[in-house]
Amino acid sequence: MALQFHTTSWSLIARAQADGDSARGATAEICQQYWHPLYAFARRTGQSAHEAEDTVQDFLVHFVEHAIVARADAERGRFRTFLLASFRQFLARRHRDQNRQKRSPGPLVVHVDFERAERLLAAPGDGSPDHAFERAWAVTQLDLAWQRLEAEYQAGGKAELVKCLRPIISGAATTPIKELGQQLALSEGAVNVAAHRMRRRFGEILREQVALTLISPDEVDDEINRLRAALSQAVV
């Protein structure tokens, strides 16, 4: 299941702090978006893939059942910092209570890509849990931006264009521009122009998305730089 187009904006978090179906839906979106970063953190603390899967699932159930999101406050900093601190506390309690009764996962279902999560953990990096968390968060932001961009192009009847040009924008192209042009019935020049426009629009979407997670527009450039640093060693 693909990630939703919503970002972890403070408006989404405000919805999760309310009551009713909208709050439950917003909480589910937050859990979906942050499963990968939390899983990466747990794996880097030494847990096996199976242990990390159980730990994150238990934490997300705890997160929902105890309405942890209600404690989040935009004035105190980034939401992912708050969530990671909550996860650290959960891990500490879990470690102290090795004989506790296993928590039932309940109805919470998070759709994840374990294979990709493990591949990202194998990418070069400093190996620390914090770095793994930041890198997984950055990859999630990249995924969300791509989903928004693809949705825009598909709505404009250009699904094939974004499919063919994504490897160019991602820096993973293996097909020559001339061959892509033949596939798309475009000249090489037209392909280059289209790729330039797509890259620019992707950058705009990513900035918009990141801005929603912050309380001040002055922090966007710094956050984008942190995202790029985290992604520089990621396999996406």
pLDDT tens, residue order, the chain (236 aa): 343 434 556 666 776 777 767 677 777 777 888 888 999 999 999 999 999 988 998 888 888 777 777 777 766 667 888 889 999 999 988 877 755 555 554 555 566 777 888 888 877 666 789 989 989 888 888 888 999 999 999 999 999 999 999 999 988 888 899 999 999 999 999 999 999 999 999 999 999 888 877 777 788 899 899 888 888 755 44
Closest CA to 80 of 117, 111, 110, 35: 35
What's the CA gap between 71 and 25, in Å, rounded?
18
**Residue 162: Cβ within 10 Å count:** 20
| pLDDT for position 6 | 44
| pLDDT for position 197 | 96
What's the CA gap between 193 and 182, in Å, rounded?
15
**Residue 61: Cβ within 10 Å count:** 17
| pLDDT for position 235 | 46
Structure tokens at 102: 């296993």
| pLDDT for position 40 | 93
